[in-house]
Amino acid sequence: MNKWSYKTQRKLILIAFLAVPLALLGMFTYYPAARLLYQSFTDWNGVSASSTWLGFDNYREIFTNPALFGVFLNQIPYVIIGIIQNIVAILFAVILNSKLKGRNGFRVLLFLPFMMNAVAVAFMFQYVFDTSNGSFNGLLGFLGLESLQQSWLGNTSLVNYSLASIGFWRFMGYNMVIYLGALQSIPADMYEAAKIDGSNRFQTLWYLTLPNMTKIIQLNMFLTLSGALAVFDLPFVLTKGGPAGASETFLLKTIQTAFQFNNFGLASAMSIVLVMLTAIILLIQNAVIKRKGD
Amino acid sequence: MQTKKWDPVQGLKYIILAFATFVVLFPPYIIFINAFKSANEGANPFALPESFLNIDNFVNVFVRANILQAFSNTAIIVIVSLIGNIVLGTMVAYVLGRIDFRGKSIVIGAFLFAMIIPAITTQVVVFSLIQSLGLYNSLAAPILLFIGADVIQIYIYLQFIRNIPYELDESGMMDGASLFRIYRSIIFPLLGPATATLIILKTINMYNELYIPFLYMPRQDLVVVSTSIMRFAGNNQAQWGNISAAILLIMIPTTVLYLFLQKYIFSGVMNGAVKG
């Protein structure tokens, strides 16, 4: 390569280094996205060579059929539990950032669930939540709370909270470590100053720690929101959307529409709707963070 | 040394932490004790097994859930994808960080926008693409889908590249090194810490990925960790002894690995979050 001038080399490297990554990006992201957009206006069934142009019919179907757009209601518990999860994670980050014996041990322990295989965790909780043999009902019985014993994954109004709490168990420690990182980047002399000014622990938390973390908290809130929008794995593994469709999510429904009911046209339109909603959340996030940044 | 006063807040912290410890360890504990129980030992999940030497469940699972095969397939996918992904990611970062060209912002934008498309939604189309490439039911399918560079990776690398002084590149050029040589011998090694972060983040993601192996590799011998437990639990509904043993076998290797590498994993996750 040395024979060429650096100018030529730059051109060669530019092409050689970008070719494969961009080809992969085009092939597995943009080509499929474009196909999705096209298919979303058709009634393609996934097999046949031809399909009929439907215009906006699929989209009309999504927004008017409560069985489709309505499943987003099932995803509200994921938002609620997700917000609680962030609050608890901040609490533990603050606790484990303070002077404490065994601090590192607790950090390691709370992060442990995140390192366990997601699917294994799901089945572990299927056992925990099992109605007759489950350890959670057993625990409630042990505490004399038999009246609270439930079919945690079989009760239509509870199933989404049960599923979301599995996410809580797995991700709280992960969030905590992220918040710990944010806490550790707050300069120590600010705390010294607060101490000298005589502010108590609560004041320090409220007026110093939290304001310094707004950016990362906002970011995590938006991640919680967009994550809740695209919930898939837990209901897919544990409930298949049941009982009676109570734990169906929009993405689960999209996949079923395509691969079980062979309605690729409608499924494509649903995918596009999901992408649009994610994009909207991201745009709002950017706007909020920019405004705060000024 | 001063003697410390009893501090109620400190006490409260320990109470909260004790509760959290219980919540974290309770489900794995139940799995642990039930993995050693045979089917006729009763349904009480809290009862201790008759003997912790009863490893029938583990033997059974080991054979029927293809645990070894699952781990070796997962390892192949993760290692090959990581190598490819790191090479591609550093190449993109080198070009974006060191070479000025028209359309650079378009390239960055293309990677950025790709992030908001949930990968599962496009599988509707990718599926037929993989099939037409003849990669359905092969390890190459997930590898091909994992190998591409993503925007978080590019951002992490770009942050690092900006901190590598350009004088290093210049001194390389002074010695007559080619740009490829500069990338390989100067930039790539100096991106090491970022690469370590990415290896951790990506390994966790690929290890947990369920839908891609489920969709593209239904063949029995192409089982990975996620699909092995899913198939096994599906075929052995409510046989908690067996399922517990399967879960335990899957959890132990990563837990041990985590305990050894926790320092690096923590800093990996923190770096990834702050910079991504």
Nearest to B55 by CA among B242, B255, B240: B242
Q: What is the pLDDT of residue A177?
A: 92
Residues of chain A contacting residue B136, judged by C-beta atoms under 8 Å apart: none
For B273, which of A39, A124, A178 is closest by C-beta distance?
A178
Choose the CATH number for B70-241+251-275 among 3.40.50.300, 1.10.3720.10, 3.40.50.2300, 3.90.1560.10.
1.10.3720.10
Whether A217 contacts A90, CB under 8 Å: yes
Closest CA of chain A from B195, distance in Å:
17
Query: Residue A59 carries which DSSP code?
Result: H
* Residues B259-273 pLDDT 10s: 988 888 888 888 776
Domain boundary assignment for chain A: 66-262
**Strands, DSSP E only, in A76-125?**
none
What distance in Å separates the CA atoms of residue B187 and residue B174, rounded to the nearest whole number? 16
Pick the CATH number of A66-262 from 1.10.3720.10, 3.40.30.10, 3.40.50.720, 3.40.640.10: 1.10.3720.10
Q: What is the pTM of this model?
A: 0.88
Contact check, Cβ <8 Å, A130/B238? yes
Q: How far is CA A237 from the centre of its chain?
A: 16
Are A186 and A126 in contact by the 8 Å Cβ rule? The answer is no
Over residues B138-172, the pLDDT tens digits come to 999 999 999 998 888 998 899 889 989 999 999 99
Three-class secondary structure of residue A147 per DSSP: helix
3-state secondary structure of A230: coil
* Rounded mean pLDDT, B198-226: 91
B186: confidence class by pLDDT, cuts 50, 70, 90: very high
Residue A27 to residue A18: CA distance in whole angstroms: 14
Any residues with CB less than 8 A from the CB of B75 and at least 6 apart, and which?
Answer: none
A115·B254 Cβ contact <8 A: yes
DSSP single-letter state for residue B48: P
- Read off the amino acid at residue B88: L
Tell me the domain boundaries of chain B. Answer: 70-241+251-275
- The residue in chain A having the minimum alpha-carbon distance to the alpha carbon of residue B7 is A100
Distance CA A82, CA A37 (A): 31
Q: What is the ipTM of this complex?
A: 0.87
From first to last of the 294 residues of chain A, give the pLDDT tens digit.
556 888 888 999 999 999 999 999 999 999 999 999 998 998 888 777 778 888 888 899 889 988 888 899 999 999 999 999 999 999 999 999 988 888 999 999 999 999 999 999 999 999 999 888 888 988 888 888 888 888 899 888 899 999 999 999 999 999 999 999 889 888 888 888 888 888 888 888 888 888 888 888 888 888 888 889 889 999 999 998 878 889 999 999 999 998 888 888 999 999 999 999 988 988 888 888 777 655
